[in-house]
Structure 1
């Protein structure tokens, strides 16, 4: 072994510059094959001690022995070198004897790498100094520059001082405005001064080191371009630090108008304040202010809308000639979804109405048609609006179409098509229909031609870890024990899991699991494990339990036909597969009774059992009751006897009691993609599934977790009774912290309503109690219900709120100003949703405790909306 290779393998990096010094290019290239071979060796296990020791030296030697700029850049930035890099100073030392143009080529190639490549900034900056080339302005270089120059604690001076010394300051600051996700850096530290980015850049602009006009324009342009919230805050902070003069603000009027209309709230608020200052000084025309108002008044941020109305009032008070143009602009707020905003706009218009001409008055009267009924009645008197038509309110509830289940397509006929579906399923994994037909296809083709199936699956599974790992690692790993999903079936086909392990999974099951989900998971896993085992020992011709419909429901006629085919083929059914088929088959209707007669005539044990099952009545539910535990309401169930003795051991827990206290709270069922499969396990008993998922779903409201509510629409589309457990699941989803969970709950609510399975009184009462107990925050609930009502379900939402609000208003009446409801932020928002739903649906009647809330003094959101709701409910129909 040569001295160079010995030093590289031993990690003696300090010897390398001396060994490499004086070598010709040809001599250096001669070492490349050995270096590449060593690299292949180290890649096999890059985390062992030998790799950690040798990689830095290998990086140095390889960079010195490569002669092409592209090859050196690829070597230095390669993924396997990323974790154990050589010090940049050593790399610069061994590259220092190259030509300047060559070094410039290398550094620009390195700078083109993405920031995730983690090319050291010190290396790139050192090569820039050596080559005297133009500085790169790529994201990788700029981000490295920002991190490097911002580390004041390492250098003992200030950020401002280091920036002053940087020879490439103008180019890199200009690139800063073009680099994505860099704005967060500009906010650190929070205090202004020579060690903050905004303070330093503002000072350098004042000193002339940075051109002021270019910096201001770049900052404004960056805000117009958009980006992350951190970017907006960072560049807005810099813009404020630059302290624009009135001339600089006036020159950019068009930019402020665009930002006020479309930028995020914090940026739009700043643009609005700049435009407001210009307007009050007479430097913004009435037309421009009206244009600005047309955009701002329809923003969701009420603070911006209120500020715009105030601005319009001040401008009209200062210059009465603007009223004809600005009053119709203010009247655009008559169509705002918030009634308080509508009332503010109406007051503003009424205050300045005498300044308007006939044309503007006509526009105002026409715009008043958008006001809520109580305000519209006021506008009839004050603005001359057309009175509302008399007569009963004609209202039609709009609910989504009842979702229809989709019939499953047959299993793929060719192994090539099946392999494609396996590849797609390995990526998605949560579609029940795709999973079931793919699983059935694997069973069918494994029975008919196992070798052809394995060959076709090769490309689809080539990158799975257990395919490429050695057999010892696969056998010792617990992956298939804890995740017996599609992977277990594929591993059985490819011979990557021992037959003894499959046999143990079938005979022993997963009895050690005692969490609230274990009953669902054990039944699901038992079928998959038995399918995998039978593939190895006695392949099934096809699955009996493949559902007919996407919900998991199996038609009885289909199951009877499959049993006939099994008898003809002389096939022995899988116990778990047949048990799953029984749980899925439709019962309790004439079709099931007719199928029962055919099943009994088969003369097989399975036919006899199916006939008994189909004639035993519809799906039963055990006796259940509610229990408050862990700061939330959960559901418990007694034992369900029909799921006990005649079912395999791993299926019996499905009918065993559901207990709040007995089963562990935490478990390893963290993968939400498995939950749709649990619903398909019991497609006509969703209450049993909902009760076992209720804890998970409650966390989206109680603990502010994310994602658990995604299953709610599927829960609503499933079959069986929608009782306490289902309604509690939806209630927790409506109060979820994250918007996507609330939207899923709204979808579920509307589906239940469309299927006439929603108990509005039950759900409304549950929500009222949850708000009282602090489990659900009223602002979140109001957002969910407003979204549902906006689809046209006003009567449905009012039907719920008429049971929610009395509980909260009763607390308000009993507790006065210090009562729980008074302290709960958002009660006024709930009243606003209820008032809008009542107005639109024509609801009438008394609501307990509402009169007391409406009679309270003041003009708070709660009081004004209580009065609005009271007026809507008391309005007499002709």
Structure 2
């Protein structure tokens, strides 16, 4: 159908729409791609070819996705016709929303045309802005902005300004529609809408070699720069631009504008300082820090903000604190920093963990005391904060500085310093006594007592939701999929309630969940999407063939251990999707009764009795998971075995036999080192890990396919997992009673996570420590790898697991130390990360436990052919542990290192450790608090 003739004329589009820095583009008789626009001159008929109205012609073009024709087709429509068209456009929009994904390309073309047509049909600014900002209609195409401007020709400036302001007020919309908003601002002459979204779009539009020129030419630069510097999340171009030589470096460009007077210097400094004081992630502070270094505050500005610099030095991130420390050092050198302020600053900085900042502060205080000895009374008490620093070298420097100036203080200050000297390491105690005559001993008060956390007792799991309303609320709770206990409760509640009243649950699910995409086969093609597959099965939205395939899955999911663990949970979910709401699944046998994931044996017997009385056979995957979760030790297990046999059912007999098996699943792990073995040439740990699952005929014969890897179906080969791991939540719940096998199964993902610096990969360690079952090499290796992670939170989980195992009496410190020794020696575990983790563990009061680990680690590392870089930090932790717990003994290779020359941390800490071991102390038995 030929489009009716359109109007002639020109439109001016602001430079925000061109995307290439041109001041304006005149479009006359052509569309944005240079094609002739239908209808240049002539009257527009209200009726099109074949008797179709102009509204029909417009809708035909929109439905065909011909967005370029829309402006000309809209032009002849009066207000009444546009209202009619708008009603039909809304109906078409609703229709397109319901289309399946296979019509995506067609829907995208129609949405483009809808975006333009709806903008021209809405009479009110608010409605037009809502339409233009619709998430389903938003377009990233620059030409679509031109088309919208065409249909908005003739609107008054106030209306255009209103639309611009409303679009700019919506962050996501403002960023993607920056060009359109900018053009509306230019046309209306209104004030620039300085919002986060608009500024994000503005900064993105200015990237490139012409950054400075574009900033200089834009009259809105002062307003928008001020907003950008004040934003909580710094725009990406400002945060990640290159160095000062890069033409796109924002701090450099802004400094030039400050020098030229385009930007007010005082305002820029104030904004940058304020941004640093608010803190945040380092990437959000980088631009403000670099800007202050280039636009250096003058002497007056630096002196006016002394309190700000002190706050940054004490509490700011490392780079910010370093900058503030430099500014304050300059003020101190100028004599513009009082002793009281320097003392306040010193107390804050010496409390920080960054050794570079602490050392610089000691130097700064030393210079200040040299210039003004009379300030010792104020500065030395602040300096004593370093007496409690973890680094004994820093303690020594602080003690020497105090010794140099202690003669200038009165008796009260001297007494205070002697009191604080009790924080010094024992290695410095003799020097402190020589200086003060007598020092307090904060560690005194009796023999050493090891402090370990209380043994965690598994808590009962709360009852599943008992009403449909509670169930829906539980399923909708944010984070459900990330909490294994709540996941199990919700799944059990869903099964129970659907069995009781299927129609009510179906109705509630349809109302609460957007199930439109569930009916398409691809939605569950690669994942169960947790409980959603069961909900879809309840509603009949998953085909029988797909459910059957999911239930039968097993071997294809056994290519790596994390897929095997996930496959167990998936098999249970597919089974539940098949049986939910039927008499074949009244409730779940495998639903945990304890927070550890365990099912109490007598409870499982009672559940099987209910199944027997109802004439129901257990679902295979559900029963298999219940067997893996049931407690197998102690009097309850023995009694449960007798009661299970008395049920006289096949399921009862299986449970009784299972409870009588000591280790129904068993796995062992081997690692090849780089310096030997058949795969020593491999770099990655995951290429050198071999997990062997012992053959168990019962598991391979009686369990569903997804479980048979636990019977030895997986071959003992290196398992380098190449899958993207997104969810570890349910892994530990698969084997809560078989800790060593569980550890062996998660080792490949742990090794991969440590080597590739993934965050969150140590999540299974917490539940692993609280699980039951034997402890062997796999558990020791899992702990060793966890202690070597880059992320501090990951290391903290490993520390927690270590302490829990120690409290339970399950930690083999020698085995853990043996694994750490070769992992550190070959470079897989970095010494500084290990030192940080073990220092954290020791600081809880577990000095003896940590020393038990390190006493096995150190001999191999000290005797390594190639010196291990960074070992000084590990020696420092070891020395601290020995000094506090009073351990005695010898460490092979320590004498040779301690007798070496030099004052490196490696040698100094070796001497300290050797002296502590030879000094010795009494030690009582471990106390659990």
Structure 1-normalised TM-score?
0.90
Q: Helix, strand or coil: the match of 2:557?
A: coil
Does residue 452 of the first structure (1) align with residue 504 of the second (2)? Answer: yes
Does residue 489 of the first structure (1) align with residue 534 of the second (2)? Answer: yes
| Aligned counterparts of 1:195 and 1:625: Cα–Cα separation in 2 | 52
Distance change in 2, residues 1:278/1:54 (3 Å): same
CA offset at residue 737 of structure 1? 1.9
Tell me what 1:556 maps to.
601
**Is the contact made by 2:668 and 2:741 (CA closer than 8 Å) also made in structure 1?**
no
Tell me what 2:45 maps to.
none
Tell me what 2:589 maps to.
544
Q: Helix, strand or coil: the match of 1:177?
A: helix
CA offset at residue 81 of structure 1? 2.0
Show CA shifts across 1:573-595 (max 9, x none): 33443333333333343333333
Does residue 793 of the first structure (1) align with residue 846 of the second (2)? Answer: yes
What is the aligned counterpart of 1:849 among 890, 893, 917? Answer: 893
Tell me what 1:636 maps to.
691
Does residue 820 of the first structure (1) align with residue 864 of the second (2)? Answer: no
Q: Helix, strand or coil: the match of 1:259?
A: helix
Show CA shifts across 1:161-194 (max 9, x none): 3333322333223223222333653363422487
Does residue 64 of the first structure (1) align with residue 116 of the second (2)? Answer: no
What is the aligned counterpart of 1:373 among 421, 426, 430? Answer: 426
Show CA shifts across 1:752-809 (max 9, x none): 0110000000001110111011111111111111111121111111110011011111
Does residue 586 of the first structure (1) align with residue 634 of the second (2)? Answer: no
Tell me what 1:514 maps to.
558
Distance change in 2, residues 1:659/1:752 (3 Å): farther
**Is the contact made by 1:183 and 1:235 (CA closer than 8 Å) also made in structure 2?**
no
Does residue 804 of the first structure (1) align with residue 857 of the second (2)? Answer: yes
Tell me what 1:602 maps to.
647
Show CA shifts across 1:680-727 (max 9, x none): xxx321211211211111122223222221110101100001111111
Distance change in 2, residues 1:455/1:136 (3 Å): closer
Deviates more, 1:523-532 or 1:839-848: 523-532
Distance change in 2, residues 1:36/1:411 (3 Å): closer
Distance change in 2, residues 1:39/1:596 (3 Å): closer
CA offset at residue 596 of structure 1? 2.9
Distance change in 2, residues 1:315/1:537 (3 Å): closer
Any unmatched runs of 5+ in structure 1? 153-157
Tell me what 1:169 maps to.
221
Deviates more, 1:617-626 or 1:387-396: 387-396
CA offset at residue 527 of structure 1? 4.0
Deviates more, 1:252-261 or 1:8-17: 8-17
Does residue 32 of the first structure (1) align with residue 86 of the second (2)? Answer: yes
**Is the contact made by 1:29 and 1:66 (CA closer than 8 Å) also made in structure 2?**
yes
Tell me what 1:268 maps to.
321
| Aligned counterparts of 2:372 and 2:579: Cα–Cα separation in 1 | 87
Q: Helix, strand or coil: the match of 1:79?
A: coil
| Aligned counterparts of 2:461 and 2:827: Cα–Cα separation in 1 | 44
Tell me what 1:203 maps to.
256
Tell me what 1:347 maps to.
400
What is the aligned counterpart of 2:483 among 419, 422, 431? Answer: 431
**Is the contact made by 1:193 and 1:200 (CA closer than 8 Å) also made in structure 2?**
no
Tell me what 2:204 maps to.
147
What is the aligned counterpart of 2:799 among 746, 755, 764? Answer: 746
What is the aligned counterpart of 2:359 among 297, 301, 306? Answer: 306
Q: Helix, strand or coil: the match of 2:691?
A: strand
Deviates more, 1:33-42 or 1:780-789: 33-42
| Aligned counterparts of 1:113 and 1:175: Cα–Cα separation in 2 | 16
Q: Helix, strand or coil: the match of 1:636?
A: strand
Distance change in 2, residues 1:342/1:116 (3 Å): farther
Distance change in 2, residues 1:539/1:341 (3 Å): same
Tell me what 1:155 maps to.
none
Q: Alpha carbon RMSD of aligned pairs, Å?
A: 2.9
Tell me what 2:738 maps to.
685
What is the aligned counterpart of 2:158 among 94, 97, 101? Answer: 101
Structure 2-normalised TM-score?
0.86
| Aligned counterparts of 1:585 and 1:866: Cα–Cα separation in 2 | 49
Distance change in 2, residues 1:582/1:197 (3 Å): closer
Does residue 292 of the first structure (1) align with residue 340 of the second (2)? Answer: no
Q: Point out the structure with the larger helix share.
A: 1
| Aligned counterparts of 1:241 and 1:39: Cα–Cα separation in 2 | 52
Q: Helix, strand or coil: the match of 1:97?
A: coil
Any unmatched runs of 5+ in structure 2? 1-51, 673-678, 923-929
Residues 2-401 of structure 1: pairs in structure 2 closer than 5 A: 2=54, 3-10=57-64, 15-21=69-75, 24-45=78-99, 48-83=104-139, 85=141, 86-115=143-172, 118-152=175-209, 158-182=210-234, 184-186=236-238, 188-192=241-245, 196-386=249-439, 394-401=447-454
| Aligned counterparts of 1:184 and 1:501: Cα–Cα separation in 2 | 44
Distance change in 2, residues 1:282/1:21 (3 Å): same
Q: Helix, strand or coil: the match of 2:670?
A: strand
Tell me what 1:695 maps to.
748
| Aligned counterparts of 1:392 and 1:470: Cα–Cα separation in 2 | 67
Distance change in 2, residues 1:98/1:716 (3 Å): same
**Is the contact made by 2:276 and 2:289 (CA closer than 8 Å) also made in structure 1?**
yes
| Aligned counterparts of 1:445 and 1:851: Cα–Cα separation in 2 | 70
**Is the contact made by 1:82 and 1:118 (CA closer than 8 Å) also made in structure 2?**
no
Show CA shifts across 1:270-311 (max 9, x none): 111111111112111111111111111111111111111101
CA offset at residue 730 of structure 1? 0.9
**Is the contact made by 1:599 and 1:610 (CA closer than 8 Å) also made in structure 2?**
yes
Distance change in 2, residues 1:530/1:77 (3 Å): closer
Q: Helix, strand or coil: the match of 1:134?
A: coil
Matched residues, number: 851
